[in-house]
Amino acid sequence: MSVEEIKQGIAALSAKEQSEATALLFHLRHVADADYQRHVTSRISDRDPTHWVTPEEFERRMDGK
């Protein structure tokens, strides 16, 4: 299967299936990246509440992008 065939196949997917494909590609890109894994682990382990945002603030920030 060529990359062009994969692209065409992804374009034919439903929006939900495209989101799943996007998540898979993101995972594959970062799964072996030790720097990225350290960064994510550090952020997840951050217990300082001044670094947190509420779900509503998160949504507001994401809507602004």
pTM for this one?
0.62
> Which H or E element spans position 14?
none
Burial of 21 (0-12, 13-18, 19+ CB in 10 A): middle
- Residues (pLDDT < 70) of the chain are 65
Q: Please tell me whether residue 48 adopts helix, strand or coil conformation.
A: coil
Distance CA 33, CA 20 (A): 21
CB proximity list for 36: less than 8 A, separation 6 or greater: 30
Tell me the two tokens of residue 56. Answer: 């509503």
pLDDT at residue 5 in the model: 97
pLDDT at residue 64 in the model: 79
pLDDT at residue 41 in the model: 96
Owning domain of residue 45: 3-63
Total count of domains within the chain: 1
